[in-house]
Chain A
Amino acid sequence: METLLDTLGLAQSMELLSLSPPGWGGNLLRGLVNSLQIAFGAFGLGLVIGLFGAYGKLYGGVVIRDLLGIYTTVIRAVPELVLILILYYVGTDLINQASEAMGYGRVEISGVVAGIWVLGVVQGAYSTEVLRGAIQAVPKGQIEAARAYGMPAFLVMRRVTIPAMMSFAVPGLANLWLIATKDTALLAIVGFSELTLETKQAAASTRAYFTFFLAAGALYLVVTLLSGVVFGRIEKWARRGQPSLRAGQSR
Protein backbone atom coordinates (compact mmCIF):
# COMPACT_ATOMS: atom_id res chain seq x y z
CA MET A 1 0.00 0.00 0.00
CA GLU A 2 2.67 2.46 1.06
CA THR A 3 4.92 1.67 -1.88
CA LEU A 4 1.97 2.28 -4.17
CA LEU A 5 1.38 5.68 -2.57
CA ASP A 6 5.07 6.46 -2.87
CA THR A 7 5.20 5.64 -6.54
CA LEU A 8 2.18 7.82 -7.20
CA GLY A 9 3.73 10.67 -5.24
CA LEU A 10 0.79 10.77 -2.90
CA ALA A 11 2.62 9.96 0.32
CA GLN A 12 3.00 13.62 1.17
CA SER A 13 -0.68 14.28 0.56
CA MET A 14 -1.66 11.39 2.81
CA GLU A 15 0.57 12.77 5.54
CA LEU A 16 -1.10 16.17 5.23
CA LEU A 17 -4.54 14.57 5.34
CA SER A 18 -3.85 12.23 8.27
CA LEU A 19 -6.30 12.53 11.13
CA SER A 20 -3.87 13.36 13.93
CA PRO A 21 -1.68 16.49 13.92
CA PRO A 22 0.46 17.48 12.06
CA GLY A 23 -2.10 16.20 9.52
CA TRP A 24 -5.20 18.33 8.92
CA GLY A 25 -7.70 15.52 8.37
CA GLY A 26 -9.22 16.01 11.82
CA ASN A 27 -9.89 19.66 11.08
CA LEU A 28 -11.59 18.80 7.83
CA LEU A 29 -13.81 16.21 9.50
CA ARG A 30 -14.71 18.66 12.27
CA GLY A 31 -15.64 21.14 9.55
CA LEU A 32 -17.75 18.51 7.84
CA VAL A 33 -19.61 17.78 11.07
CA ASN A 34 -20.28 21.50 11.52
CA SER A 35 -21.49 21.76 7.93
CA LEU A 36 -23.83 18.81 8.29
CA GLN A 37 -25.17 20.12 11.60
CA ILE A 38 -26.03 23.46 10.01
CA ALA A 39 -27.45 21.78 6.90
CA PHE A 40 -29.69 19.50 9.02
CA GLY A 41 -30.93 22.38 11.14
CA ALA A 42 -31.51 24.67 8.19
CA PHE A 43 -33.31 21.97 6.24
CA GLY A 44 -35.56 21.23 9.23
CA LEU A 45 -36.32 24.89 9.89
CA GLY A 46 -36.95 25.35 6.18
CA LEU A 47 -39.42 22.44 6.20
CA VAL A 48 -41.36 23.94 9.10
CA ILE A 49 -41.46 27.38 7.46
CA GLY A 50 -42.29 25.75 4.14
CA LEU A 51 -45.21 23.76 5.54
CA PHE A 52 -46.78 26.83 7.13
CA GLY A 53 -45.94 28.89 4.07
CA ALA A 54 -47.53 26.39 1.71
CA TYR A 55 -50.69 26.24 3.81
CA GLY A 56 -50.74 30.02 4.00
CA LYS A 57 -50.36 30.35 0.25
CA LEU A 58 -53.10 27.82 -0.46
CA TYR A 59 -55.66 28.49 2.24
CA GLY A 60 -54.64 31.82 3.76
CA GLY A 61 -56.38 35.17 3.40
CA VAL A 62 -55.45 37.71 0.76
CA VAL A 63 -52.97 39.56 2.98
CA ILE A 64 -51.11 36.42 4.06
CA ARG A 65 -50.97 35.21 0.47
CA ASP A 66 -49.49 38.49 -0.76
CA LEU A 67 -46.95 38.63 2.06
CA LEU A 68 -45.83 35.06 1.37
CA GLY A 69 -45.62 35.88 -2.32
CA ILE A 70 -43.26 38.75 -1.54
CA TYR A 71 -41.22 36.51 0.80
CA THR A 72 -40.69 33.74 -1.75
CA THR A 73 -40.03 36.11 -4.65
CA VAL A 74 -37.50 38.28 -2.84
CA ILE A 75 -35.63 35.36 -1.27
CA ARG A 76 -35.39 33.53 -4.57
CA ALA A 77 -34.18 36.59 -6.52
CA VAL A 78 -31.49 37.89 -4.14
CA PRO A 79 -28.17 36.01 -3.85
CA GLU A 80 -27.88 33.76 -0.79
CA LEU A 81 -24.66 35.51 0.17
CA VAL A 82 -26.39 38.90 0.45
CA LEU A 83 -29.33 37.35 2.31
CA ILE A 84 -26.98 35.61 4.73
CA LEU A 85 -25.34 38.94 5.58
CA ILE A 86 -28.65 40.81 5.92
CA LEU A 87 -30.32 38.08 7.99
CA TYR A 88 -27.23 37.64 10.15
CA TYR A 89 -27.08 41.33 11.07
CA VAL A 90 -30.86 41.67 11.45
CA GLY A 91 -30.99 38.53 13.62
CA THR A 92 -28.17 39.54 15.94
CA ASP A 93 -29.49 43.12 16.17
CA LEU A 94 -32.98 41.98 17.08
CA ILE A 95 -31.76 39.50 19.71
CA ASN A 96 -29.42 42.03 21.25
CA GLN A 97 -32.12 44.70 21.39
CA ALA A 98 -34.53 42.23 22.95
CA SER A 99 -32.03 41.10 25.56
CA GLU A 100 -31.06 44.67 26.39
CA ALA A 101 -34.72 45.61 26.74
CA MET A 102 -35.14 42.74 29.21
CA GLY A 103 -32.13 43.91 31.16
CA TYR A 104 -29.52 41.39 30.05
CA GLY A 105 -26.34 42.43 28.34
CA ARG A 106 -25.32 41.76 24.76
CA VAL A 107 -25.54 38.12 23.77
CA GLU A 108 -22.91 36.19 21.88
CA ILE A 109 -24.67 34.13 19.24
CA SER A 110 -23.13 30.81 18.36
CA GLY A 111 -22.11 30.28 14.76
CA VAL A 112 -24.17 27.14 14.37
CA VAL A 113 -27.40 28.78 15.56
CA ALA A 114 -26.86 31.83 13.37
CA GLY A 115 -26.07 29.61 10.39
CA ILE A 116 -29.21 27.54 10.92
CA TRP A 117 -31.32 30.69 11.23
CA VAL A 118 -30.06 32.37 8.05
CA LEU A 119 -30.02 29.27 5.85
CA GLY A 120 -33.34 28.09 7.30
CA VAL A 121 -35.11 31.30 6.29
CA VAL A 122 -33.65 30.97 2.79
CA GLN A 123 -34.61 27.28 2.57
CA GLY A 124 -38.10 28.13 3.80
CA ALA A 125 -38.84 30.13 0.67
CA TYR A 126 -37.86 27.26 -1.62
CA SER A 127 -39.63 24.57 0.37
CA THR A 128 -42.78 26.73 0.48
CA GLU A 129 -42.93 26.44 -3.29
CA VAL A 130 -42.06 22.72 -3.34
CA LEU A 131 -44.66 21.82 -0.71
CA ARG A 132 -47.31 24.08 -2.26
CA GLY A 133 -46.90 22.27 -5.57
CA ALA A 134 -47.04 18.89 -3.81
CA ILE A 135 -50.18 19.73 -1.85
CA GLN A 136 -51.85 20.96 -5.03
CA ALA A 137 -51.04 17.66 -6.72
CA VAL A 138 -53.03 15.71 -4.11
CA PRO A 139 -56.45 14.86 -5.62
CA LYS A 140 -59.00 17.30 -4.18
CA GLY A 141 -61.50 14.54 -3.47
CA GLN A 142 -59.28 12.95 -0.80
CA ILE A 143 -59.10 16.13 1.27
CA GLU A 144 -62.78 16.87 0.73
CA ALA A 145 -63.69 13.36 1.86
CA ALA A 146 -61.70 13.82 5.06
CA ARG A 147 -63.44 17.14 5.69
CA ALA A 148 -66.82 15.63 4.98
CA TYR A 149 -66.20 13.15 7.82
CA GLY A 150 -65.73 16.14 10.11
CA MET A 151 -62.00 15.70 10.64
CA PRO A 152 -60.40 18.74 12.26
CA ALA A 153 -58.01 20.68 9.96
CA PHE A 154 -54.86 19.55 11.78
CA LEU A 155 -55.88 15.91 11.65
CA VAL A 156 -56.58 16.21 7.91
CA MET A 157 -53.10 17.60 7.47
CA ARG A 158 -51.48 14.86 9.53
CA ARG A 159 -53.44 11.86 8.28
CA VAL A 160 -54.34 12.75 4.69
CA THR A 161 -52.55 15.68 3.08
CA ILE A 162 -49.00 15.05 4.27
CA PRO A 163 -48.89 11.29 3.55
CA ALA A 164 -50.54 11.79 0.17
CA MET A 165 -48.27 14.62 -0.91
CA MET A 166 -45.03 12.94 0.20
CA SER A 167 -44.41 11.19 -3.11
CA PHE A 168 -44.75 14.49 -4.98
CA ALA A 169 -42.62 16.43 -2.53
CA VAL A 170 -39.67 14.07 -2.04
CA PRO A 171 -37.78 14.80 -5.31
CA GLY A 172 -38.01 18.56 -4.71
CA LEU A 173 -37.03 18.18 -1.07
CA ALA A 174 -34.04 16.03 -2.04
CA ASN A 175 -32.89 18.86 -4.27
CA LEU A 176 -33.36 21.33 -1.41
CA TRP A 177 -31.30 19.16 0.94
CA LEU A 178 -28.46 19.15 -1.58
CA ILE A 179 -28.72 22.93 -1.90
CA ALA A 180 -28.62 23.19 1.90
CA THR A 181 -25.42 21.15 2.17
CA LYS A 182 -23.76 23.21 -0.53
CA ASP A 183 -25.02 26.54 0.82
CA THR A 184 -23.26 25.89 4.13
CA ALA A 185 -20.07 26.66 2.18
CA LEU A 186 -21.27 30.27 1.89
CA LEU A 187 -21.02 30.61 5.67
CA ALA A 188 -17.25 30.43 5.19
CA ILE A 189 -17.41 34.00 3.94
CA VAL A 190 -18.91 35.26 7.20
CA GLY A 191 -16.31 33.28 9.13
CA PHE A 192 -18.02 30.12 10.44
CA SER A 193 -15.52 27.29 10.63
CA GLU A 194 -17.34 24.80 8.44
CA LEU A 195 -15.74 22.50 5.90
CA THR A 196 -14.85 25.02 3.21
CA LEU A 197 -13.26 27.52 5.60
CA GLU A 198 -11.32 24.78 7.45
CA THR A 199 -10.11 23.60 4.06
CA LYS A 200 -8.99 27.04 3.03
CA GLN A 201 -7.14 27.56 6.30
CA ALA A 202 -5.42 24.19 6.02
CA ALA A 203 -4.53 24.86 2.39
CA ALA A 204 -3.22 28.35 3.09
CA SER A 205 -0.95 27.24 5.92
CA THR A 206 0.50 24.24 4.07
CA ARG A 207 0.40 25.71 0.54
CA ALA A 208 -1.00 22.36 -0.64
CA TYR A 209 -4.06 23.87 -2.29
CA PHE A 210 -4.94 21.01 -4.64
CA THR A 211 -4.66 18.33 -1.96
CA PHE A 212 -7.04 20.01 0.45
CA PHE A 213 -9.57 21.42 -1.98
CA LEU A 214 -9.82 18.09 -3.80
CA ALA A 215 -10.19 16.27 -0.48
CA ALA A 216 -12.97 18.63 0.60
CA GLY A 217 -14.62 18.24 -2.79
CA ALA A 218 -14.53 14.47 -2.32
CA LEU A 219 -16.15 14.83 1.12
CA TYR A 220 -18.95 16.98 -0.31
CA LEU A 221 -19.37 14.52 -3.16
CA VAL A 222 -19.66 11.59 -0.74
CA VAL A 223 -22.37 13.48 1.17
CA THR A 224 -24.20 14.20 -2.09
CA LEU A 225 -24.04 10.63 -3.36
CA LEU A 226 -25.07 9.15 0.01
CA SER A 227 -27.98 11.61 0.18
CA GLY A 228 -29.01 10.46 -3.29
CA VAL A 229 -29.19 6.86 -2.05
CA VAL A 230 -31.08 7.79 1.13
CA PHE A 231 -33.60 9.99 -0.71
CA GLY A 232 -34.05 7.21 -3.29
CA ARG A 233 -35.09 4.93 -0.43
CA ILE A 234 -37.38 7.58 1.03
CA GLU A 235 -39.01 8.16 -2.35
CA LYS A 236 -39.57 4.43 -2.76
CA TRP A 237 -41.16 4.36 0.68
CA ALA A 238 -43.32 7.41 -0.08
CA ARG A 239 -44.50 5.80 -3.31
CA ARG A 240 -45.41 2.48 -1.70
CA GLY A 241 -48.75 1.27 -2.90
CA GLN A 242 -48.64 3.43 -6.01
CA PRO A 243 -48.27 1.74 -9.39
CA SER A 244 -44.72 2.19 -10.66
CA LEU A 245 -44.06 4.72 -13.37
CA ARG A 246 -41.73 2.35 -15.19
CA ALA A 247 -44.57 0.05 -16.12
CA GLY A 248 -46.13 2.88 -18.06
CA GLN A 249 -49.33 2.98 -16.04
CA SER A 250 -50.97 6.25 -15.16
CA ARG A 251 -51.13 7.22 -11.53
Chain B
Amino acid sequence: MTLRALFQPHRIVMMVLFAIFVIWCAMSLRWDWIPQYAPLALEGLWRTIWILIVTCILGFLLAIPLGLAQAIGPWYLAAPARVFCTVIRGTPLLLQIWLLYYGLGSLFPQIPWIRGSDLWPYLRQAWPYAVLALTLSYAGYEGEVMRGAFSSVNKGQLEAANSFGMPRFTMFRRIWLPQAIRNVLPTLGGETILQLKATPLVATITVVEIYAVSSRVRSDMLIVYEPLLLLALFYLIIAGVITLLFRKFENRVPTR
Protein backbone atom coordinates (compact mmCIF):
# COMPACT_ATOMS: atom_id res chain seq x y z
CA MET B 1 0.00 0.00 0.00
CA THR B 2 1.46 3.34 -0.99
CA LEU B 3 1.43 6.41 1.23
CA ARG B 4 -0.95 8.08 -1.19
CA ALA B 5 -3.52 5.30 -0.81
CA LEU B 6 -3.23 5.51 2.96
CA PHE B 7 -4.11 9.19 3.07
CA GLN B 8 -7.41 9.23 1.25
CA PRO B 9 -9.92 11.45 3.04
CA HIS B 10 -12.08 8.66 4.45
CA ARG B 11 -9.05 6.80 5.73
CA ILE B 12 -7.80 9.93 7.51
CA VAL B 13 -11.21 10.25 9.18
CA MET B 14 -11.09 6.58 10.22
CA MET B 15 -7.57 6.96 11.58
CA VAL B 16 -8.63 10.00 13.60
CA LEU B 17 -11.61 8.07 14.99
CA PHE B 18 -9.33 5.17 15.85
CA ALA B 19 -6.87 7.54 17.55
CA ILE B 20 -9.75 9.00 19.58
CA PHE B 21 -10.78 5.46 20.58
CA VAL B 22 -7.21 4.63 21.63
CA ILE B 23 -6.92 7.85 23.66
CA TRP B 24 -10.32 7.17 25.27
CA CYS B 25 -9.12 3.68 26.17
CA ALA B 26 -5.89 5.06 27.62
CA MET B 27 -7.69 7.71 29.66
CA SER B 28 -10.80 6.03 30.96
CA LEU B 29 -9.77 2.40 31.42
CA ARG B 30 -7.51 1.12 34.16
CA TRP B 31 -3.92 0.50 33.18
CA ASP B 32 -2.17 0.89 36.55
CA TRP B 33 -1.68 -2.90 36.79
CA ILE B 34 0.75 -3.01 33.88
CA PRO B 35 4.03 -2.34 35.76
CA GLN B 36 3.16 -4.99 38.32
CA TYR B 37 2.39 -7.68 35.75
CA ALA B 38 4.91 -6.71 33.05
CA PRO B 39 7.59 -9.28 34.01
CA LEU B 40 5.03 -12.09 34.13
CA ALA B 41 3.54 -10.95 30.81
CA LEU B 42 6.97 -10.94 29.16
CA GLU B 43 7.60 -14.44 30.45
CA GLY B 44 4.21 -15.55 29.12
CA LEU B 45 4.85 -13.92 25.76
CA TRP B 46 8.17 -15.70 25.51
CA ARG B 47 6.53 -19.01 26.36
CA THR B 48 3.84 -18.51 23.70
CA ILE B 49 6.46 -17.78 21.04
CA TRP B 50 8.67 -20.65 22.19
CA ILE B 51 5.81 -23.16 22.09
CA LEU B 52 4.74 -21.86 18.69
CA ILE B 53 8.22 -22.23 17.15
CA VAL B 54 9.01 -25.62 18.68
CA THR B 55 5.66 -27.19 17.78
CA CYS B 56 5.73 -25.80 14.24
CA ILE B 57 9.22 -27.17 13.55
CA LEU B 58 8.59 -30.58 15.14
CA GLY B 59 5.14 -30.81 13.57
CA PHE B 60 6.51 -29.99 10.15
CA LEU B 61 9.26 -32.61 10.47
CA LEU B 62 6.53 -35.12 11.29
CA ALA B 63 4.35 -33.88 8.44
CA ILE B 64 6.95 -34.68 5.77
CA PRO B 65 6.81 -38.47 6.27
CA LEU B 66 3.04 -38.25 6.73
CA GLY B 67 2.64 -36.43 3.43
CA LEU B 68 5.10 -38.69 1.66
CA ALA B 69 3.38 -41.83 2.94
CA GLN B 70 0.03 -40.59 1.66
CA ALA B 71 1.40 -39.38 -1.68
CA ILE B 72 3.53 -42.35 -2.79
CA GLY B 73 3.66 -44.81 0.11
CA PRO B 74 2.41 -48.39 -0.07
CA TRP B 75 -1.04 -48.95 1.39
CA TYR B 76 0.23 -50.17 4.78
CA LEU B 77 1.92 -46.77 5.29
CA ALA B 78 -0.64 -44.64 3.48
CA ALA B 79 -3.67 -45.95 5.36
CA PRO B 80 -2.37 -45.23 8.91
CA ALA B 81 -1.16 -41.80 7.80
CA ARG B 82 -4.57 -40.99 6.35
CA VAL B 83 -6.34 -42.22 9.48
CA PHE B 84 -4.04 -40.11 11.66
CA CYS B 85 -4.70 -36.96 9.61
CA THR B 86 -8.46 -37.58 9.58
CA VAL B 87 -8.65 -38.15 13.33
CA ILE B 88 -6.53 -35.08 14.15
CA ARG B 89 -8.47 -32.88 11.75
CA GLY B 90 -11.83 -34.30 12.78
CA THR B 91 -11.69 -33.72 16.52
CA PRO B 92 -11.31 -30.46 18.46
CA LEU B 93 -7.79 -29.59 19.57
CA LEU B 94 -9.03 -28.83 23.08
CA LEU B 95 -10.25 -32.42 23.38
CA GLN B 96 -6.89 -33.75 22.18
CA ILE B 97 -5.01 -31.60 24.69
CA TRP B 98 -7.24 -32.74 27.55
CA LEU B 99 -7.03 -36.38 26.44
CA LEU B 100 -3.24 -36.29 26.51
CA TYR B 101 -2.90 -34.25 29.69
CA TYR B 102 -5.57 -35.85 31.85
CA GLY B 103 -5.47 -39.28 30.21
CA LEU B 104 -1.73 -39.85 30.03
CA GLY B 105 -1.28 -37.78 33.18
CA SER B 106 -3.47 -40.21 35.12
CA LEU B 107 -1.98 -43.27 33.44
CA PHE B 108 1.74 -42.56 33.91
CA PRO B 109 1.87 -42.49 37.74
CA GLN B 110 0.50 -46.06 37.78
CA ILE B 111 3.45 -47.42 35.80
CA PRO B 112 6.47 -47.95 38.07
CA TRP B 113 9.26 -47.77 35.50
CA ILE B 114 8.02 -44.42 34.22
CA ARG B 115 7.91 -43.07 37.75
CA GLY B 116 11.47 -44.25 38.25
CA SER B 117 12.85 -42.91 34.98
CA ASP B 118 14.86 -39.73 34.56
CA LEU B 119 12.05 -38.21 32.49
CA TRP B 120 9.56 -38.28 35.36
CA PRO B 121 10.30 -34.74 36.66
CA TYR B 122 9.40 -33.45 33.17
CA LEU B 123 6.35 -35.67 32.76
CA ARG B 124 4.89 -34.24 35.95
CA GLN B 125 4.80 -30.81 34.39
CA ALA B 126 2.17 -29.64 31.92
CA TRP B 127 4.26 -28.29 29.07
CA PRO B 128 5.41 -31.64 27.57
CA TYR B 129 1.75 -32.56 27.02
CA ALA B 130 1.04 -29.14 25.55
CA VAL B 131 3.98 -29.43 23.15
CA LEU B 132 3.03 -33.00 22.21
CA ALA B 133 -0.62 -32.13 21.53
CA LEU B 134 0.19 -29.04 19.47
CA THR B 135 2.91 -30.87 17.54
CA LEU B 136 0.56 -33.73 16.62
CA SER B 137 -2.14 -31.26 15.61
CA TYR B 138 0.22 -29.27 13.36
CA ALA B 139 1.55 -32.52 11.88
CA GLY B 140 -1.99 -33.72 11.12
CA TYR B 141 -2.98 -30.56 9.27
CA GLU B 142 0.36 -30.17 7.51
CA GLY B 143 0.49 -33.87 6.55
CA GLU B 144 -2.56 -33.22 4.41
CA VAL B 145 -0.98 -30.07 2.93
CA MET B 146 2.30 -31.85 2.18
CA ARG B 147 0.46 -34.72 0.50
CA GLY B 148 -0.85 -32.29 -2.07
CA ALA B 149 2.52 -30.56 -2.28
CA PHE B 150 4.47 -33.73 -2.96
CA SER B 151 2.11 -34.89 -5.69
CA SER B 152 2.07 -31.46 -7.35
CA VAL B 153 5.80 -31.39 -8.08
CA ASN B 154 6.50 -31.75 -11.78
CA LYS B 155 7.15 -35.42 -12.65
CA GLY B 156 9.63 -34.51 -15.39
CA GLN B 157 12.05 -33.03 -12.90
CA LEU B 158 12.11 -36.19 -10.84
CA GLU B 159 12.59 -38.26 -13.98
CA ALA B 160 15.47 -35.98 -15.03
CA ALA B 161 17.14 -36.45 -11.64
CA ASN B 162 16.62 -40.18 -11.94
CA SER B 163 18.19 -40.32 -15.38
CA PHE B 164 21.26 -38.49 -14.10
CA GLY B 165 21.68 -41.37 -11.68
CA MET B 166 21.02 -39.23 -8.61
CA PRO B 167 20.54 -41.35 -5.49
CA ARG B 168 16.92 -41.35 -4.32
CA PHE B 169 17.59 -39.55 -1.06
CA THR B 170 19.62 -36.80 -2.74
CA MET B 171 16.85 -36.37 -5.25
CA PHE B 172 14.34 -36.01 -2.43
CA ARG B 173 16.53 -33.54 -0.54
CA ARG B 174 17.63 -31.41 -3.48
CA ILE B 175 14.66 -31.42 -5.82
CA TRP B 176 11.46 -32.88 -4.48
CA LEU B 177 11.28 -31.40 -0.98
CA PRO B 178 12.41 -27.84 -1.83
CA GLN B 179 9.89 -27.55 -4.64
CA ALA B 180 7.10 -29.05 -2.58
CA ILE B 181 7.76 -26.58 0.25
CA ARG B 182 8.03 -23.69 -2.19
CA ASN B 183 4.62 -24.51 -3.66
CA VAL B 184 2.85 -24.48 -0.31
CA LEU B 185 4.66 -21.59 1.43
CA PRO B 186 1.54 -19.35 1.43
CA THR B 187 -0.55 -22.19 2.90
CA LEU B 188 2.10 -22.87 5.53
CA GLY B 189 2.02 -19.19 6.52
CA GLY B 190 -1.73 -19.38 7.06
CA GLU B 191 -1.42 -22.64 8.99
CA THR B 192 1.26 -21.15 11.23
CA ILE B 193 -1.10 -18.31 12.13
CA LEU B 194 -3.76 -20.94 12.91
CA GLN B 195 -1.21 -22.62 15.15
CA LEU B 196 -0.56 -19.30 16.92
CA LYS B 197 -4.30 -19.05 17.51
CA ALA B 198 -4.29 -22.55 18.99
CA THR B 199 -1.63 -21.78 21.60
CA PRO B 200 -3.97 -20.16 24.19
CA LEU B 201 -5.69 -23.55 24.57
CA VAL B 202 -2.70 -24.85 26.51
CA ALA B 203 -3.55 -22.33 29.22
CA THR B 204 -6.37 -24.74 30.18
CA ILE B 205 -3.79 -27.29 31.32
CA THR B 206 -1.94 -24.79 33.51
CA VAL B 207 0.82 -23.76 31.11
CA VAL B 208 1.42 -20.09 31.93
CA GLU B 209 1.59 -18.37 28.55
CA ILE B 210 0.38 -14.91 27.58
CA TYR B 211 -3.31 -15.84 27.62
CA ALA B 212 -3.01 -17.36 31.09
CA VAL B 213 -1.33 -14.16 32.30
CA SER B 214 -4.26 -12.10 31.00
CA SER B 215 -6.79 -14.35 32.72
CA ARG B 216 -4.83 -13.95 35.92
CA VAL B 217 -4.92 -10.16 35.60
CA ARG B 218 -8.66 -10.34 34.95
CA SER B 219 -9.37 -12.33 38.08
CA ASP B 220 -6.86 -10.48 40.29
CA MET B 221 -7.86 -6.94 39.33
CA LEU B 222 -11.57 -7.63 38.67
CA ILE B 223 -11.41 -5.95 35.27
CA VAL B 224 -12.68 -7.39 31.99
CA TYR B 225 -11.75 -5.50 28.86
CA GLU B 226 -8.27 -4.06 29.44
CA PRO B 227 -6.23 -7.30 29.52
CA LEU B 228 -8.29 -8.79 26.71
CA LEU B 229 -7.76 -5.78 24.43
CA LEU B 230 -4.03 -5.79 25.14
CA LEU B 231 -3.94 -9.54 24.54
CA ALA B 232 -5.71 -9.18 21.19
CA LEU B 233 -3.14 -6.51 20.27
CA PHE B 234 -0.27 -8.86 21.14
CA TYR B 235 -1.71 -11.61 18.96
CA LEU B 236 -2.26 -9.16 16.09
CA ILE B 237 1.39 -8.13 16.29
CA ILE B 238 2.66 -11.73 16.36
CA ALA B 239 0.40 -12.66 13.44
CA GLY B 240 1.73 -9.64 11.54
CA VAL B 241 5.32 -10.70 12.19
CA ILE B 242 4.56 -14.25 10.96
CA THR B 243 2.98 -12.84 7.80
CA LEU B 244 6.04 -10.64 7.15
CA LEU B 245 8.44 -13.53 7.76
CA PHE B 246 6.63 -15.81 5.34
CA ARG B 247 6.42 -13.03 2.76
CA LYS B 248 10.20 -12.71 3.06
CA PHE B 249 10.61 -16.45 2.46
CA GLU B 250 8.26 -16.27 -0.50
CA ASN B 251 10.16 -13.35 -2.01
CA ARG B 252 13.39 -15.30 -1.87
CA VAL B 253 11.88 -17.77 -4.30
CA PRO B 254 12.41 -16.52 -7.87
CA THR B 255 9.07 -16.21 -9.62
CA ARG B 256 8.65 -17.58 -13.07
Interfacial chain B residues near A62, Cβ < 8 Å: 8, 10
* Least CB distance, B111 to chain A, in whole angstroms: 14
What secondary structure prevails in chain A residues at the interface with B?
A: helix
Tell which of A78, A189, A225 touches B235, judged by Cβ atoms closer than 8 Å: A78
Asked whether A185 is an interface residue with its Cβ less than 8 Å from the other chain, the reply is yes
Task: Find out whether the CB atom of A209 lies under 8 angstroms from the CB atom of B94.
Answer: no
Tell which of A79, A85, A196, A214 touches B196, judged by Cβ atoms closer than 8 Å: A79
Asked whether B22 is an interface residue with its Cβ less than 8 Å from the other chain, the reply is no
Interfacial chain B residues near A183, Cβ < 8 Å: 92
Provided the pairs A79-B211, A81-B200, A196-B95 are in contact, do residues A89 and B224 lie with their beta carbons within 8 angstroms?
A: yes
Asked whether A213 is an interface residue with its Cβ less than 8 Å from the other chain, the reply is yes
Q: Which residue of A lies closest to B11 (CB)?
A: A66
Task: Find out whether the CB atom of B91 lies under 8 angstroms from the CB atom of A182.
Answer: yes
Interfacial chain A residues near B231, Cβ < 8 Å: 82
Task: Find out whether the CB atom of B95 lies under 8 angstroms from the CB atom of A63.
Answer: no
Q: How far is the CA of A74 from the CA of B201 in the complex (A)?
A: 19
Task: Find out whether the CB atom of B90 lies under 8 angstroms from the CB atom of A224.
Answer: yes
Tell which of B92, B197, B225 touches A79, judged by Cβ atoms closer than 8 Å: B197
Provided the pairs A200-B98, A217-B95 are in contact, do residues A77 and B240 lie with their beta carbons within 8 angstroms?
A: yes
Task: Find out whether the CB atom of A217 lies under 8 angstroms from the CB atom of B103.
Answer: no
Q: How far is the CA of A183 from the CA of B98 in the complex (A)?
A: 15
Asked whether A238 is an interface residue with its Cβ less than 8 Å from the other chain, the reply is no
Task: Find out whether the CB atom of A82 lies under 8 angstroms from the CB atom of B103.
Answer: no
Asked whether A94 is an interface residue with its Cβ less than 8 Å from the other chain, the reply is no
Interfacial chain A residues near B91, Cβ < 8 Å: 182, 217, 220-221, 224
* Least CB distance, A192 to chain B, in whole angstroms: 13
Task: Find out whether the CB atom of B103 lies under 8 angstroms from the CB atom of A213.
Answer: yes
* Least CB distance, B215 to chain A, in whole angstroms: 9
Asked whether B7 is an interface residue with its Cβ less than 8 Å from the other chain, the reply is no
Q: How far is the CA of A38 from the CA of B196 in the complex (A)?
A: 25
Q: Which residue of B lies closest to A70 (CB)?
A: B14
Interfacial chain A residues near B87, Cβ < 8 Å: 217, 221
15 contacts between A and B (CB under 8 A): A74-B232, A77-B235, A78-B232, A78-B236, A79-B211, A85-B228, A89-B225, A89-B228, A182-B92, A185-B92, A185-B95, A196-B98, A207-B106, A209-B106, A210-B103
